[in-house]
């Protein structure tokens, strides 16, 4: 009898952070993980497979399209991990908090955001 691991098994903060190594700041051309833009990662926030990520933007006046790109790319990278359920990426400290949240939070993509 084969027992499959439960959903989210092996899912932890380090694994989520490593997945975001591919997310590049479009202006600085460096990974957001190397730049220290990933403020926090929470696994199991709503259920055992849910992940919440808080991004610390480089400045409060970070271009909304750059903030959106980083948040959207981070969400895609984390969502691609096996066993991940709901993913929420929250860009913090933006001068217009609704702008970068509008796309990635409800999955409006860039067309729905801009």
- Give me the CATH number covering residue 34: 3.30.300.130
pLDDT value at 52 more than 80: yes
Phi/psi at 104 (nearest 5 deg)? -70, -30
The number of C-alpha atoms within 13 Å of 30 and in the hemisphere containing its C-beta is 9
Inside any domain, residue 8: no
pLDDT value at 3 more than 50: no
By residue range, what is the domain housing residue 52? Answer: 13-113
CA atoms of 31 and 90, how far apart (whole Å): 17
Phi/psi at 67 (nearest 5 deg)? -60, -45
Rounded to whole angstroms, what are the CA distances from 84 to 66, 97, 109?
A: 25, 26, 20
Task: Name which residue leads in pLDDT, 97 or 75.
Answer: 75
Confidence of residue 67 (pLDDT cuts 50, 70, 90): confident
Mean pLDDT confidence for 51-80:
89
The number of folded domains in the chain is 1
């Amino acid at each position: 009898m084969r027992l499959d691991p439960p959903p989210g098994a092996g899912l932890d903060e380090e694994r989520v952070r490593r997945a975001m190594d591919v997310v590049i700041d479009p202006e600085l051309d460096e990974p957001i993980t190397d730049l220290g833009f990933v403020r926090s990662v929470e696994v199991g926030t709503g259920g055992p497979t849910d992940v919440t990520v808080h991004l610390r933007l480089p400045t409060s006046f970070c271009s909304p399209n750059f903030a959106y790109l980083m948040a959207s790319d981070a969400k895609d990278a984390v969502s691609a991990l096996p066993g991940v359920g709901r993913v929420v990426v929250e860009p913090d400290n933006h001068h217009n908090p609704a702008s970068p949240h509008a796309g990635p939070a409800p999955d409006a993509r860039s067309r729905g955001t801009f």
